[in-house]
Amino acid sequence: MKTVKLIEGKQNGENVIIVSFYTNEKLENHLMQLKELNRDNSSGKFYIKNTGQNLSLVFNHMRKINCYVDYTELKQKQTDKPKKKVKLYLPPIDSLNKQNLNRFRKWLEEKRLSPNTVDTYIEVTSFFLRYTILKNSRSHSKRLVESFNYEFIVQEGKSISYQNQCINGVKKYFLFKGIDIGALNLSRPKKEKKLPVVLSKVEVRSIIDATHNLKHKTLLSLIYSGGLRIGEAINLRIDDIDSRRMLIHIKGGKGKKDRYTLLSGSFLKILREYYKQFRPKDYLFEGQKELKYSASSAQSVLKKAVMSSGIRKKVTLHTLRHSFATHLLESGTDIRYIQELLGHNNPKTTMIYTHVTENSIKNINNPFDDL
């Protein structure tokens, strides 16, 4: 029995199926009967556009003459191609669920959760309620939540972090509605243990130098020099800067905790220059139309600075905070003090910086150097 192999190839820049076989007049004549097939004049190869329909066409045509068709390589390549993410359409929320969401928001605000947390829980719960409308379901069962988790989160390729936010939001909503959460046994997936991106001191300097607007330069310098979260930076008021004690007072940080962090002498010079030029009245950084500067504007400022400095790392505002902590650790600062400056509840959170500090890695003798 003759063997014909179907393989993937390129012809005039187009993906094609090439019919490969040892020279055989009978096979050639049979292939020429298939009008959809093309033939390259220089190589003599038969080919056809690579589609599932054309694959079936060639396969069935060759089987007519007692011929073995091997298309395992082609089939494997098609299997390896990434699947397109399925976009789930959710219907608009109805008036009853809208009323429930409004009551849910008030309930969350009464619990004194942060505005960002409230907005996140409302958003993800809204998606869940719209999903119940899609499924025409009135009962909030574990099976419905699992189905929502798979179709809305897993199939659409959303992150583990977003998945946890959805589960947290739904759990809070069930608690608000008086549904027994324990009986549902909703569990959160484990987070990926990724190490933070850290900039060198030279890279931080280049980002700040690439920021020519004084207000923008002051904001980025503050976030790095104090190890602040962006929300903490834009919520700072003028009287939170204690220049006599060289401290910055962070009020109502994450977990509603107050703390003090460092006020750099070099940064204080930049800050005084900024204050003389912009004269903020209440918040240290004021927006053009709002009372305070927005987080999105700050992200945009950093993005432009990173592009101008030529740094290719994936840098966010939080990267400046990570870099502050790592540089303190590398300079010999006790990790317990770093924990206090960052406002971490658990020392394990701060310990992650021991994995990215240069001091813990660069002093190890590489065995390759001894060869």
At 320, the pLDDT band (50, 70, 90 cuts) reads very high
At 32, the pLDDT band (50, 70, 90 cuts) reads confident
**DSSP code string of 76-126:** HHHHHSPPPPPPPP-PPPPHHHHHHHHHHHHHHHHTT--HHHHHHHHHHHH
Q: Is 155 exposed, middle or buried (0-12, 13-18, 19+ CB in 10 A)?
A: middle
pLDDT given at position 154: 82
pLDDT given at position 366: 73
At 224, the pLDDT band (50, 70, 90 cuts) reads very high
For the domain covering 95-184, report its CATH number: 1.10.150.130
Tens-digit pLDDT profile for residues 229-262: 999 999 999 999 999 999 999 998 777 789 999 9
pLDDT given at position 362: 67
Mean pLDDT of 307-315: 92
pLDDT given at position 142: 80
Q: Which residues of 175-194 are buried (b: 16+ CB within 10 A; e: fewer)?
A: ebeeeeeeebebeeeeeeee
Does residue 204 carry a pLDDT above 60?
yes
* Class of the CATH domain delimited by 2-80: alpha beta
Q: Where exactly are the structural domains of the chain? A: 2-80, 95-184, 201-360
Tens-digit pLDDT profile for residues 157-178: 888 888 888 989 999 999 999 9
**DSSP code string of 168-221:** HHHHHHHHHHT--HHHHT--PPPPP-PPPP---HHHHHHHHHT--SHHHHHHHH
At 186, the pLDDT band (50, 70, 90 cuts) reads low
What is the amino acid identity at position 285? F
Lowest mean pLDDT among 115-119, 139-143, 147-151, 187-191: 187-191
pTM of the model: 0.63
Does residue 85 carry a pLDDT above 60?
no
Lowest mean pLDDT among 54-63, 220-229, 320-329: 54-63
Q: How far is CA 242 from CA 245, 263, 264, 284, 321, in A?
A: 6, 8, 11, 13, 20
Does residue 193 carry a pLDDT above 60?
yes
pLDDT given at position 54: 83
Helices (H) and strands (E) in the chain, counts: 17, 8
**Fold of the CATH domain 201-360:** hpI Integrase; Chain A (1.10.443)
Point out the residues that are catalytic.
Answer: 229, 254, 318, 321, 344, 353
**DSSP code string of 302-351:** HHHHHHHHT--S---HHHHHHHHHHHHHHTT--HHHHHHHHT-SSHHHHH
Per the model's pLDDT, the better-predicted residue between 345 and 218 turns out to be: 218
pLDDT given at position 99: 94
Does residue 192 carry a pLDDT above 80?
no
Q: Which of 53-62, 264-273, 330-339 has the highest mean pLDDT?
A: 264-273
